[in-house]
């Protein structure tokens, strides 16, 4: 079988190459993938089995995130120095120190306190979407109110984009809440994130340089937020993080700016694409949507199954720090090692019927938030809460939602993203 796990055009046209990944899991789970000088990347080891992805993830001493960073694309050394200030590109003990400082805002208790606010946001998004469509149909104000409150049992409402009208705004509202930023800033945050993640997608940016400009704008925004909170502290994550920890340590300015950058991207892209990918999966498996509508409590297990099925982050890169071996394959010091979460999450050695989408799947040991170890997703509790509440509200408010056109996918081998998903809403 021809193997190319990084062709971005393939990801844009058909999504994750599950056929290739299945073949690799069965025949060459630790596979030497040839490089491509024209595309600017060397050969690498593709790690596709759940057990092996977990092994790499939990041994930062052997598989470094800092040596050549955690993203797939290569970067000049002078750029790596700045990027190593970001937790994503650090190894213990520096990563451990930084994570302990930022973890103050992401404890399960702190996240749990956001549930009702997130539920209000989800209802607000449905209200706004229904109001928008009511107006597009020239309905009377009374009918508009009836639609927004789900009291009008008639009328399918005109087409809307699930991504831009529901999936994308949710994490943006929540990020604004966490940062204590004005809700009006959500459009700026959305645009910055698109330019940074979508620098290889013609719909979002013209060049990687545009992504660098967006990152600089996020730095400046973070600086302004920090300065405002020093003057007037609030009950938000920014105020917490600019204060010294119990041991007296404090985040440096660059560290804080890069943390906000990570929050803007990771806190937005993963939830947004899990939500849109999850809705697409429910459209493709209407019996699962019917189960959820009948029993919205299934949203708790559905959130994990959506993350497993979609795997919003497809891959991360590590660099071997010493000669080692996995399944007999000899990995040399300095070799590029790439873990594929989308593959690990379909591993038949771990999941019964891995190619079946089952919103009641339990247990569900997916690694959509990482394979454990130092880099297990800091925001996993928040992401699952957002997904659970969103799909509870959608099942309650929009049981008749239907897909009306093809989804378009992000041109990226890193993020399994959906750019558009046209739907019709129905009470």
Give pLDDT, residue 156. 45
Tell me if residue 47 falls in helix, strand or coil: strand
- What is the pLDDT confidence band of residue 281, given thresholds at 50, 70 and 90? very high
DSSP 55-71: HHHT-TTTEESSSS-SS
Instruction: Calculate mean pLDDT across residues 372-379.
Output: 92
How far is the first Cα of the chain from the last one, in angstroms, to the nearest whole number? 47
Residue 159: φ, ψ to 5°: -65, 145
Residue 1, domain member (yes or no): no
- What is the pLDDT confidence band of residue 191, given thresholds at 50, 70 and 90? confident
Residue 284, domain member (yes or no): yes
Of the candidates 272, 298, 240, 264, the one whose C-alpha atom is nearest the C-alpha of residue 386 is: 272
DSSP H helices, 108-207, are 108-112, 115-136, 141-148, 162, 169-179, 186-197
Residue 2, domain member (yes or no): no
- Neighbouring residues of 280: CB distance < 8 A, sequence distance ≥ 6: 403, 407, 418, 421
Tell me if residue 44 falls in helix, strand or coil: strand
Give the separation between CA 364 and CA 254, rounded to whole angstroms: 38
DSSP 200-241: TSTTT-SSHHHHHHHHHHHHHHHHHHHHHHHHS--SSHHHHH
Residue 308 in contact with residue 274, Cβ under 8 Å?
no
Residue 150, domain member (yes or no): yes
pLDDT tens profile 110-156: 888 899 999 999 999 999 988 877 776 655 445 445 545 554 443 44
Residue 166, domain member (yes or no): yes
Is the pTM higher than 0.85? The answer reads yes
- What is the pLDDT confidence band of residue 205, given thresholds at 50, 70 and 90? low
Distance of CA 372 to the CA centre of its chain: 16
Structure tokens given for 426 = 């129905």
Q: Is 320 left (phi over 0), alpha (psi -120 to 50) or beta?
A: beta
pLDDT at 334 over 50: yes
Residue 3, domain member (yes or no): no
- What is the pLDDT confidence band of residue 207, given thresholds at 50, 70 and 90? low
Residue 106, domain member (yes or no): yes
Q: Are strands 44-47 and 336-340 parallel, antiparallel or unpaired?
A: parallel
Residue whose pair of structure tokens reads 């994550």 in the numeric block: 237
Residue 233, domain member (yes or no): yes
- 317, HSE (Cβ side, Cα atoms, 13 Å): 22
The residue segments making up the domain with residue 45 are 8-426
What's the mean per-residue pLDDT of the chain? 89
CATH of the domain at 220: 1.10.630.10
Domain count, the chain: 1
Candidate from 158-167, 216-225, 238-247, 389-398 with smallest mean pLDDT:
238-247
Give the separation between CA 21 and CA 6, rounded to whole angstroms: 12
- How many angstroms separate the most distant Cα atoms in the chain? 71
């Amino acid at each position: 079988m021809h193997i190319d796990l990084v062709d971005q055009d393939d990801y844009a046209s058909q999504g994750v190459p599950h056929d290739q990944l299945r073949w690799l899991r069965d025949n060459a789970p630790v596979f030497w993938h040839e490089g491509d000088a024209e595309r600017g990347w060397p050969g690498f080891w593709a790690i596709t089995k759940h057990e092996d992805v977990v092994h790499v993830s939990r041994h930062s001493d052997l598989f470094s995130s800092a040596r050549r960073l955690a993203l797939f694309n290569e970067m000049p050394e002078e750029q790596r120095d700045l990027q190593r200030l970001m937790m994503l590109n650090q190894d213990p003990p520096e990563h451990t120190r930084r994570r302990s400082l930022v973890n103050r805002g992401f404890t399960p208790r702190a996240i749990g306190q956001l549930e009702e606010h997130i539920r209000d946001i989800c209802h607000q998004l449905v209200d706004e979407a229904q109001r928008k469509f009511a107006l597009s149909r020239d309905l009377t104000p009374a009918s508009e109110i009836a639609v927004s409150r789900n009291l009008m049992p008639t009328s399918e409402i005109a087409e809307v984009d699930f991504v831009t009208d529901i999936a994308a705004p949710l994490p943006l509202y929540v990020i604004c809440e966490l940062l204590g930023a004005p809700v009006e800033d959500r459009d700026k945050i959305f645009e910055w994130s698109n330019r940074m993640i979508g620098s290889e997608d013609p719909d979002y940016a013209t060049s990687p340089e545009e992504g660098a400009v967006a990152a600089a704008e996020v730095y400046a925004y973070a600086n302004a937020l920090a300065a405002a909170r020093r003057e007037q502290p609030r009950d938000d994550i920014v105020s917490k993080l600019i204060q010294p920890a119990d041991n007296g340590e404090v985040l440096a300015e660059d560290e804080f700016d890069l943390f906000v950058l990570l929050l803007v991207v990771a806190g937005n892209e993963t939830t947004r694409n899990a939500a849109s990918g999850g809705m697409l999966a429910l459209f493709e498996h209407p019996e699962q949507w019917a189960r959820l509508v009948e029993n919205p409590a299934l949203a708790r297990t559905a959130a994990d199954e959506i993350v497993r099925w979609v795997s919003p982050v497809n891959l991360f890169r590590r660099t071997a720090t010493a000669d080692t071996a996995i399944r007999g394959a000899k990995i040399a010091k300095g070799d590029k090692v790439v873990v594929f979460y989308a593959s690990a999450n379909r591993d038949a050695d771990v999941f019964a019927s891995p190619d079946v989408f089952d919103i009641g799947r339990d247990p569900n040991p997916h690694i959509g938030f990482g394979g454990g170890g130092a880099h297990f997703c800091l925001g996993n509790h928040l992401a699952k809460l957002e997904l659970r509440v969103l799909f509870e509200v959608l099942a309650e408010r929009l049981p008749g939602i239907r897909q009306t056109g093809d989804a378009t996918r992000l041109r990226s081998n890193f993020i399994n993203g959906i750019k558009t998903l046209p739907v019709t809403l129905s009470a």
